[in-house]
Structure 1
Amino acid sequence: MSNNINPNKDLSLYLQLKEVFIDRIQNGDWKPDKLIPTEQELMKEFNVSRTTIRQAVSILVQEGMVEKKQGRGTIVKSRKLSGNLTQLKGFAEEVLERGQTPRSRLIRAEFKYNLYHEMSMLDVKDDQPILLIERIRFADEMPVALERTCWPKDIGDILIKYDLDEARYYEILEKYNVYLNRAKEKISAINATINEADELGIRAGEALLEMTRLSFGVNDRPIEYTKTKYRHDQYHYSFELKR
């Protein structure tokens, strides 16, 4: 682990320390939900004052990277996944970009005829089934989201052949020259039902972030209708506004 700080730099010692601490969190040296070293240990390691240590840690608290626990010390907060409203990505891509490991657990996968709203969104006729897939999505073994995806039959016939616990839909479809071009998304705040809470390891009634996505292929054909419910403490959306 690096402890390279330089008293002769123009940058204040506490700001140098802050950068070292951030590196340790991002590199996994300081792990989520675990205590960071005590003030005394950090003072000895970096040969700086208690005030300098506290200034650096205070910034990390303000930035939401660590949290002070009464009677315990300072712990590293679990990292939230971040969705970007300007890019069309799958859950696994977002997790991998954060340096975490994605995983899924299949709840069910079946062709259905009676999902009239979903069929309408996908522009599917009443005599054609659509593939419904429901999964729990994990990041580093933490349950993060409940995902419910619907696909037209020809797309479903491709996906159903794969291990849906592991499948990354967009990567699979690209092997068959099926590419997503754009998507419409709607984001809402909802509360978890008892069943949803059980699946996600939270309390019933806790806030969830619900994202509804309709994705289109290169010929502007709708090919994916997805509703994903994210734990509010594990996921957020970020975007840039310009004027």
Structure 2
Amino acid sequence: MSSDKLNHNKGEALYLQIKDVLIKRIQTGAWKPNTLIPTEQDLIKEFDVSRTTIRQAISILVQNGLLEKKQGRGTVVKPQNLIGNLGKLKGFAEEVLERGQTPHSKVLRAEFRDDLYHENDMLKVTEGEPILLVERIRFADEVPIALERTCWPKDIGEILIKYDLNQAMYYEVLEQHQFYLKKANERITAINATINEADALGIRPGEALLEMTRLSLGINDHPIEYTKTKYRSDQYHYNIELER
């Protein structure tokens, strides 16, 4: 029996079974963010249930923030916040892909610099030695989520600069060249968007951002990445699992 078929002999109410099917379609990307879901009549025909049953299922998803009713349009899939999992060393693109969305970037700047003294210090690079600076806007589907400023030592920078940095997944590229991340230290703070930051992210100046500063270490415990990423707080939050 298909997982989308209802079990009329099951003790669980039909509207709850339908609710689970619809959630699965959202989570797997079968129903994309910001798109209309099928009409009530289409769903009634598909599941062979009453209008009341369909409305009960949809109402739950609206209440849970997965769907949104648009006046004059219908019901659309709401874009979901990206969730960063503290304790897992992942890149932005990996997090976006796990949400069933498509990551891409817009490069604002990519250049070697020899005057970034704080970044040189964090990366334990000799003063005056150039490091690669890359600044990008990060997107999930077509929604700007974050501003990213990443610095890399010269040997890694010379590898990355050969790639299309609008599409490149840094950690994947590094592993292809036998550079492996072992761990990272992160610091998260709350800040307010400047005029330029707000313009790049499509928000109002002064809106809240989450600023994440990450120093990543290789298998020899030597720094290989220093990144500062500013996330829209309405599109991104962190999940922390605590045990006692």
TM-score (norm 2): 0.88
**What's 1:162 paired with?**
163
Unaligned runs of 5+ in 2: none
TM-superposition CA deviations, 1:95-141 (whole Å, max 9, x none): 22222222111111112222222222112232222211101112223
**What's 1:109 paired with?**
110
TM-superposition CA deviations, 1:184-210 (whole Å, max 9, x none): 111122222221122122222222222
| Cα distance in 2, alignment partners of residues 44 and 81 from structure 1 | 34
| Cα distance in 2, alignment partners of residues 191 and 74 from structure 1 | 33
Report the AA paired with residue 162 of structure 2: K
**What's 2:140 paired with?**
139
1:1-243 matched pairs, under 5 angstroms = 4-69=5-70, 72-243=73-244
Work out whether residues 115 and 128 of structure 2, in 8 Å CA contact, stay in contact via their aligned partners in 1: no
**What is the number of equivalent residue pairs in this alignment?**
243
| Cα distance in 2, alignment partners of residues 36 and 162 from structure 1 | 38
| Cα distance in 1, alignment partners of residues 199 and 226 from structure 2 | 24
| Cα distance in 2, alignment partners of residues 37 and 173 from structure 1 | 43
| Cα distance in 2, alignment partners of residues 132 and 166 from structure 1 | 16
Report the AA paired with residue 227 of structure 1: K
State the secondary structure of the residue aligned to 1:133. strand
Work out whether residues 190 and 210 of structure 2, in 8 Å CA contact, stay in contact via their aligned partners in 1: yes
Report the AA paired with residue 238 of structure 2: Y
| Cα distance in 2, alignment partners of residues 82 and 239 from structure 1 | 10
State the secondary structure of the residue aligned to 2:196. helix
TM-superposition CA deviations, 1:22-71 (whole Å, max 9, x none): 12223444331233344455345434344433332232133321123456
| Cα distance in 2, alignment partners of residues 84 and 142 from structure 1 | 20
TM-superposition CA deviations, 1:140-175 (whole Å, max 9, x none): 232221110011222222222222222221122222
Q: After alignment, is 26-35 or 175-184 more displaced?
A: 26-35
Q: After alignment, is 228-237 or 22-31 more displaced?
A: 22-31
When residues 99 and 29 of structure 1 are mapped into structure 2, their CA distance, relative to the original with a 3 A threshold, is closer
TM-score (norm 1): 0.89
Deviation of 1:219 (Å): 0.8
Report the AA paired with residue 117 of structure 2: Y
Work out whether residues 27 and 99 of structure 2, in 8 Å CA contact, stay in contact via their aligned partners in 1: no
| Cα distance in 2, alignment partners of residues 61 and 242 from structure 1 | 32
CA-atom RMSD in angstroms = 2.2
| Cα distance in 2, alignment partners of residues 224 and 14 from structure 1 | 49
Unaligned runs of 5+ in 1: none
